[in-house]
Structure 1
């Protein structure tokens, strides 16, 4: 019974953490920096890292033998995201948030196929 209650508590805590995380944008961390220069640097570095993760996670999905039937749909969705990424954003904050959101989507897909994300 204790194991069941512990598992239930862990599930509830995990659900709460995911919901709390969804309320914040990736760029919100950068807004806490003291100067505009620090905020700009934070956004630039965050964007670079997020884009590397998008590229790496997408490539891992496409290269994996576990993802055979849905590679075309993954590629199609990624191309759609990339065009939206280019047309919607005009500053690093928007780019950073969109790249972080895409990484979250990719990581959910990767978890489905038991693939470790970057």
Structure 2
């Protein structure tokens, strides 16, 4: 590692004076900077993984929501159809019962007279 490169690395710390440092001190500073860089890179990788997991989860939520929307539409159609069928059945039942009720009513009236 050249002295110029070491001075560049060390010069990022304003409290260090490169002229007063020995070669061993400079090497220690570089090693410390490399360790700090590794720590920061590890933090970056963790944040990157978290970000990717969040993105994947968001995509899963979107896909799940789309599926549920499709299921809801199918269910709504089924409910509407079932309600229509039930209304038709009730209507037919009432049509069948009304004449019987009419006959019963007429019979009650005849008995009253």
- TM-score scaled to structure 1, two decimals? 0.27
More helix by share: 2
Greater C-alpha radius of gyration: 2
Which structure would you say has the larger RCO, counting Cα contacts within 8 Å and 6 or more residues apart?
Answer: 1
